[in-house]
Amino acid sequence: MLPVVALLGRPNVGKSTLFNQLTRSRDALVADSPGLTRDRQYGIGRVGPRPFIVIDTGGIGEAERPVEELMEQQSLRALEEADIAIFVVDGRQGLTPADEQLARAFRKQSRTVLLAVNKAEGQSRDEVTAEFHALALGEPRAISATLGRGIQPLIEDALSHVPELEGEQGYNEDGIRVAVIGRPNVGKSTLINRWLGEERMVASDEPGTTRDAVRVPFSRDGQDYVLVDTAGVRRRARVHEYVEKLSVVKTLQAIEDANVVVALVDGSEGITDQDASIMGLALEAGRAMVVAVNKWDGIAPDRRERTKVELDLKLPFLGFAKQHFISAKHGTGVGELLGSVNEAWEAANRDLPTPVLTRALEDAVSRHAPPLIRGHRIKLRYAHQGGKNPPLIVIHGNQTERTPKAYRRYLENYFRQTFDLQGTPIQIEFRSTE
């Protein structure tokens, strides 16, 4: 399971800037989507020796003026979720009483807290860090979040404090790893139970912490699967039913661990902002996906129509994923869902040879040429596959960096249709030869 790193500190010290550097978000989707806990932002950090989950307490005090107590409370709550924390302070502004107050609270914690002095560019390292020794949180490190300086060693150090669990890398189970994600109460456990059958449930009732991976293998129609996560698997064996709180950390861990993500929503309630936020996380990770709208039994026809419209309106970024309308409770459509899981995984790993890709590019361009930019036409010459899962298509030509977004979307759709790439996001990268 991924280590969890929390970014703590006063407003305006540069936590969000650092968060963006660490996550190198391909898309601003997560940041844009409302609905998740307003005081925290979650992403996958991709700087350093291994991926990790990063929690930003950036929203603190943005809406209301920061009450110092509130800031401390929220920092400590984020710290509870984390394996390690980075306490960010502002090297330009210098040490403030609020920093001292936070440091006092952190020193009482058992978690390791690394101290990062941000905005240190253009100043001598010793000078900028000197006064922060007073916080007694170890050697202060000088960084610049905007320039990306000092960040790699900081993260290497942070992650060295979190041991890699046995078997963390290179799982040897065979089968497509599937995660079912969604808000609490949309029917994740019911769906999982459908796939597994009753006996399996009891066997998987293991105690667990956030960093415990639960993996349950099963087979259907000759295909092997491994269910990852999953709170849902465990929960069924409990006597009392209750509605859980959404754990973003667990959801991210499941997404990261999965080959294919099944995005489950509750069709009787329609699509909520929280649904959109959760699905945005999976997209951000580049996962192959299938959308399943559950509780389709007993929904009135007008509600059905509304839900279908909402799917396109609120989850437009999941247009690449196949949609299924199911009843986990009655088992309707539950088997077909796995068929789409297979297809999505196959599409994510498809070989796209250069000649074939280039021919498709030529066809796309001849049907609909790229626009003129200041009298010059962008030339797209050939394409090759730069990676799989998700497929990365690299397009070579002249002035390709000027390709407008709309044309990029056109190409993406063209490739998707030509190569039948349903269920996987496609990345397109432009390279210029001059």
Binding mask 2-41 for ligand GDP (x = CB under 6 A): -------x-xxxxxxx------------------------
When the beta carbons of 15 and 250 are compared against ligand GDP, the nearer one is 15
By CB under 6 A, which span of 63-71, 218-226, 294-302, 351-359 interacts with ligand GDP?
Answer: 294-302
Chain centroid offset of residue 423 CA:
17
Residue 253 contacts residue 53 (beta carbons within 8 Å): yes
Query: Does 187 interact with ligand GDP (rule: CB under 6 A)?
Result: yes
What 3-state class would DSSP assign to 57? coil
Point out which span in 105-113, 253-261, 324-332, 414-422 binds ligand GDP (CB under 6 A). 324-332
Q: Which of 118, 129, 251, 400 binds ligand GDP (CB under 6 A)?
A: 118
Would you say 331 or 387 has its CB closer to ligand GDP? 331
**Measured at the alpha carbon of residue 285, what is the angle toward residues 270 and 24, in degrees to the nearest 5?**
120
- The set of long-range contacts for 10-13, using a CB threshold of 8 Å and a minimum separation of 24, is 10/61, 10/66, 10/71, 10/89, 10/90, 10/96, 10/98, 10/99, 10/102, 11/60, 11/61, 11/62, 11/66, 11/71, 12/90, 13/88, 13/89, 13/90, 13/93, 13/118, 13/119
Measured from the CB atom, is 11 or 270 closer to ligand GDP? 11
Q: With contact defined as beta carbons under 8 Å apart, do 395 and 430 qualify?
A: yes
Nearer to ligand GDP, 30 or 411 (CB): 30
Q: Which two tokens stand for residue 104?
A: 């006092």
Query: Would you count residue 145 as binding ligand GDP (CB under 6 A)?
Result: yes
Count of residues that bind ligand GDP according to CB under 6 A: 31
Q: 20 or 399, CB closer to ligand GDP?
A: 20
Three-state SS at 87:
strand
Say if residue 15 carries a ligand binding annotation: yes
Nearer to ligand GDP, 140 or 370 (CB): 140
Contact 338, 372 (CB under 8 A): no
Q: How far apart are CA 113 and CA 83, in angstroms?
A: 10
Applying CB under 6 A, among 141, 295, 324, 416 the residue interacting with ligand GDP is 295
CA nearest neighbour of 160 among 274, 247, 58, 84: 84
187 is in an annotated binding site: yes
- Does the annotation flag 229 for ligand binding? yes
Instruction: Establish if 194 lies at the interface with ligand GDP (CB under 6 A).
Output: no
- Element containing residue 53 per DSSP (H, E): strand 52-56
* Choices 103-111, 118-126, 348-356, 371-379; region in contact with ligand GDP by CB under 6 A: 118-126
Among 155, 186, 281, 288, the residue binding ligand GDP under the rule CB under 6 A is: 186
Interface residues with ligand GDP (CB under 6 A)?
9, 11-17, 58, 118-119, 121, 144-146, 182, 184-190, 232, 294-295, 297-298, 327-329
